[in-house]
Structure 1
Amino acid sequence: MVRIYIMFFSFLSIVFLIKADLSGPITSQIIDPGSVQYSAAYWYSESKSYVNGGVTFTFPTNLFLQTPTVVASISIGSYSIFTTYSCVITSISSNSVTVRVNTGTLLTIGEAPTNSCTVNVWAIGTAN
């Protein structure tokens, strides 16, 4: 059985309010018959205003040993029933992730304009 203790969900809303990058450790507990193993992983979270061409988030130096798992989301200022926003991770490595935001209407699909939304990322990976 694998247990991962994640203590940062209470910080997530604060991260997106202050729009600053935050990162920290996570302790995972792996329970096997007759033994318990603890290992370290790290997480990173940041929010940025969207810019045409995509937003790149650079992780702190040597934070991840290999490419982390990344979750991206978007926040929009005002909702419209006529426009749908979607985010796509276009590039990812152990050093950075790039996110592009697309908009869609009944007739068109294209890239979101600059400052039309806020892109939020959360990454978790093996500690370096």
Structure 2
Amino acid sequence: MKKFKANKELASILFKQGFVDTTSQRDKIKGKQSFKMSVRARKSIYFDYDTIKIIKGYHITESTMSLTEEQLKIILLYFKLPTSDSNIFESTDGFKINYAIDKLKSLQKELLLLSDIESKSKKFKKKYRIADLYNSIVF
């Protein structure tokens, strides 16, 4: 399984997924980088030298040295979803990769069990939308 580190390869994947570079001049001098879905977005991915940090607002919610493909995919899903949908992946401590992966697996199992009657509900449509976006992420 491929591992992604805070480097140009991961930055290239983020750009292809629609992220923009929001790194300050000060951080550029230090060799750090910051990426957001838009300049004004609250959520960001921050390369702090070799560490990949997930930040929401001013709080670091997750920090890791490398990411597997599954972990990267769940992070991309979290950033691409609107806040109303992405909140499902936040624990009481904010976004945590393993918690989000468990939530997604639970959501996918739930979709398989739901009947046609429930497929018209808002809850089903939200879960389907999340699962569909996850499956469409390719890098």
TM-score normalized with structure 2 length: 0.23
Question: Using CA pairs below 8 Å that are at least 6 residues apart, which structure has the higher relative contact order?
Answer: 1
Q: Name the one with the larger strand percent.
A: 1
Q: Name the one with the larger helix percent.
A: 2
